[in-house]
């Protein structure tokens, strides 16, 4: 990883920029000594950081392609820095308008809660609101174990400590499982750039973590591994372990490396379908921006079907952080400047996750090597919506006020990711005889529940048949 960029991106968020409150609970940000004796009882903020939403199942329907380039096979893992210095991460988000609220869960399979530094802490569980909404949308959430290079404060003593073995047991692996189970998330991303342990030791550590989960009846836990390498053959002992996956470093998202890595994983006894969930090819979005890395996308998701899976590193950097940086920690984290900034953020998110046209049916930039196509131009949307009636308030997890059944109950700006609704599966699939006749936008000036509503512009009648069809298919 680009460690200078990582550390500089863990800025102080000013979570209480628009009003100070006593007894603010925070998310975890720990060193190994802390978790050695961790229990919910001695974790003073544990109850505020606990998610209670189970990971929801998703369904697939190959008849619902928005465009001919879409397929289900490839997976997307996203490493997102969603808060500042991890020690200043509010457990239940904050009273300002500029928190990062990803809403394109339909194009994501795994969220890695990115953060940590040698000075603050290297073991960072995700906050409950993120796990709640990710799980509601069928997305796994992984906490972070960050071993930085020695040049950035990494200590081999931490690695050696984490790999402590007592008989056949790895007590720190057991603690990582206990934390994930109690907090309600799905495992850990281990970023190992310090050294001090062998691959065979880490393979045993991961296997023991998986055993703790399996013995507890939990079959969905995962450890995603990163060590700066690009080749699956270099980590075969880890990949052979059930519940383990690998982030192949930047530069791996090219046709020859993807083909080699997928063959290696299948050679370990996994099916091709399983291989898509075992190895992800890294794309550096923080430096590439929301419009870069087109060739990497196309190498993983070619026109005729998927070749491999993608691991995104910090796509929120250009979409969100660079837009709101000047507002962080100031009174302008609320109010008109914040509203303008977040409108830009949501437009950036649409451009990155859907496409430049904000239309999943468009494949205009699919073969343009100079611009990022957007995930709708290669990936079929995933959804947990399987029953009728489907009810949503269209909440994007932030608001200028709080509404309950159409009544305004408060006027404080806020963001809370756990108060998102399941959003429409496509953003936006509109069929009309006249291009541009109908438009849909999100609105924070008025809402029925929480803080967001939709504004439909144009002649809605032109879209009634399509809305009816989607409703009958349980997708609206």
pLDDT digits (tens, 9 = 90+) for 235-271: 999 999 999 999 999 999 999 999 999 999 999 999 9
The CATH number that applies at residue 440 is: 2.60.120.260
The reply to whether 16 and 56 lie within a common domain is yes
Cα distances (angstroms) measured from residue 87 to each of 84, 110, 122, 126, 406: 8, 23, 11, 12, 36
Looking at residue 99, what is its pLDDT? Answer: 94
The reply to whether 184 and 61 lie within a common domain is yes
Looking at residue 88, what is its pLDDT? Answer: 84
Q: What is the 3-state secondary structure (H, E, C) of 388-445?
A: CCCCCCCCCCEECCEEECCEEEECCCEECHHHCCCCCCCCCCCCCCCCCCEEEEEECC
The reply to whether 372 and 424 lie within a common domain is no
Q: What is the pLDDT of residues 284-305, one digit of tens each?
A: 999 999 999 999 999 999 999 9
For the chain, how are helix, strand and coil distributed in percent, rounded to 5? 35, 15, 50
Query: Is 263 part of any domain?
Result: yes
The reply to whether 189 and 95 lie within a common domain is yes
Q: pLDDT grade, residue 334 (50/70/90)?
A: very high
The reply to whether 63 and 200 lie within a common domain is yes
Distance CA 428, CA 358 (A): 6
The reply to whether 332 and 221 lie within a common domain is yes
Structure tokens at 174: 């057991």
The reply to whether 100 and 182 lie within a common domain is yes
pLDDT of residue 312 exceeding 60: yes
Looking at residue 390, what is its pLDDT? Answer: 84
Distance CA 134, CA 423 (A): 12
pTM of the entire predicted model:
0.92
Query: Is 389 part of any domain?
Result: no
- Would residue 116 be called left, alpha or beta, if left means φ above 0 and alpha means ψ between -120 and 50 degrees? left
The reply to whether 246 and 356 lie within a common domain is yes
C-beta neighbour count of 240 within 10 angstroms = 15
Considering only CA atoms, which of 259, 303, 311 is closest in space to residue 142? 311
Q: Which domain holds residue 135?
A: 3-377
The CATH number that applies at residue 306 is: 3.20.20.80
Distance CA 473, CA 470 (A): 5
Query: Is 391 part of any domain?
Result: no
Q: Among 135-149, 201-215, 248-262, 376-390, where is mean pLDDT lowest? A: 376-390
Which of residues 327, 344, 377 is at a domain's end?
Answer: 377
Query: Is 385 part of any domain?
Result: no
Query: Is 345 part of any domain?
Result: yes
The reply to whether 416 and 305 lie within a common domain is no
Which of residues 326, 348, 377 is at a domain's end?
Answer: 377
- Would residue 239 be called left, alpha or beta, if left means φ above 0 and alpha means ψ between -120 and 50 degrees? alpha
Mean pLDDT of the chain: 90
The reply to whether 345 and 448 lie within a common domain is no
**Burial of 52 per CB tally in 10 Å (0-12, 13-18, 19+):** exposed
Structure tokens at 292: 């870069």
Query: Is 416 part of any domain?
Result: yes
Query: Is 388 part of any domain?
Result: no
Distance CA 426, CA 381 (A): 8
Looking at residue 43, what is its pLDDT? Answer: 93
Looking at residue 11, what is its pLDDT? Answer: 37
The reply to whether 146 and 276 lie within a common domain is yes
Mean pLDDT of 49-72: 94
The reply to whether 316 and 421 lie within a common domain is no
Q: pLDDT grade, residue 18 (50/70/90)?
A: low
Query: Is 94 part of any domain?
Result: yes
Split into its structural domains, the chain has a count of: 2
Residues in the chain: 476
Q: What is the pLDDT of residues 64-117, one digit of tens each?
A: 899 999 999 999 999 999 887 788 889 899 999 999 999 999 999 999 999 989
463 or 248: whose pLDDT is higher?
A: 248
pLDDT of residue 9 exceeding 90: no
Q: Are 102 and 80 in contact (CB under 8 A)?
A: yes
Q: pLDDT grade, residue 357 (50/70/90)?
A: very high
């Amino acid at each position: 990883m680009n460690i200078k960029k990582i550390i500089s991106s863990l800025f102080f968020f000013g979570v209480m920029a628009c009003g100070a409150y006593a007894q603010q609970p925070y998310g975890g940000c720990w060193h190994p000594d802390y978790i050695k004796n961790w229990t919910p009882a001695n974790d003073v903020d544990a109850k505020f950081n606990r998610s209670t939403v189970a990971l929801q199942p998703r369904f697939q329907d190959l008849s619902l392609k928005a465009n001919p380039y879409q397929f289900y096979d490839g997976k997307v893992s996203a490493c997102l820095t969603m808060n500042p210095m991890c020690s200043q991460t509010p457990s239940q988000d904050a009273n300002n308008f500029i928190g990062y609220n990803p809403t394109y869960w339909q194009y994501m399979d795994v969220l890695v809660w990115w953060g940590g530094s040698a000075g603050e802490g290297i073991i960072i569980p995700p906050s409950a609101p993120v796990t709640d909404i990710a799980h509601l949308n069928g997305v796994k959430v992984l906490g972070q174990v960050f071993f930085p290079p020695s040049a950035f404060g990494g200590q081999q003593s931490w690695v050696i400590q984490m790999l402590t073995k007592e008989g056949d047991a790895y007590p720190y692996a057991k603690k990582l499982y206990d934390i994930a189970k109690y907090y309600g998330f799905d495992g850990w991303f281990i970023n190992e750039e310090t050294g001090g342990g062998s691959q065979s030791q880490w393979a045993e550590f991961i296997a023991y973590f998986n055993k703790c989960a399996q013995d507890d009846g939990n079959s969905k836990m995962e450890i995603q591994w990163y060590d700066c390498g690009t080749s699956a053959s270099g980590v075969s002992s880890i990949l052979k372990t059930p519940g383990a996956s690998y982030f192949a470093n930047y530069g791996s998202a090219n046709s020859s490396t993807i083909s080699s890595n997928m063959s290696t994983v299948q050679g370990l006894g996994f099916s091709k379908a399983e291989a898509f969930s075992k190895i992800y090819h890294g794309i550096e979005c923080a430096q590439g921006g929301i419009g870069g890395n087109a060739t990497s996308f196309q190498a993983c998701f070619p026109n005729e079907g998927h070749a491999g899976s993608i691991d995104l590193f910090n796509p929120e950097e250009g979409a969100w952080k660079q837009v709101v940086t000047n507002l962080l920690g100031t009174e302008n984290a609320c109010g008109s400047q914040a509203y303008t900034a977040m409108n830009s953020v949501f437009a950036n998110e649409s451009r990155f996750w859907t496409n430049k046209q904000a239309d999943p049916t468009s494949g205009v930039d699919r073969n343009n090597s100079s611009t990022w196509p957007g995930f709708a131009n290669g990936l079929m949307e995933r959804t947990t919506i399987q029953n009728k009636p489907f009810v949503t308030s269209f909440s994007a997890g932030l608001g200028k006020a709080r509404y309950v059944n159409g009544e305004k109950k408060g006027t404080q700006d806020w963001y809370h990711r756990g108060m998102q609704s399941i959003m429409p599966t496509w953003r936006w699939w509109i069929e009309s005889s006249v291009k541009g006749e109908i438009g849909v936008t999100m609105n924070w000036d008025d809402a029925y529940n929480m803080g967001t509503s939709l504004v439909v512009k144009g002649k809605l009648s032109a879209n009634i048949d399509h809305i009816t069809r989607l409703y009958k298919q349980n997708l609206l």
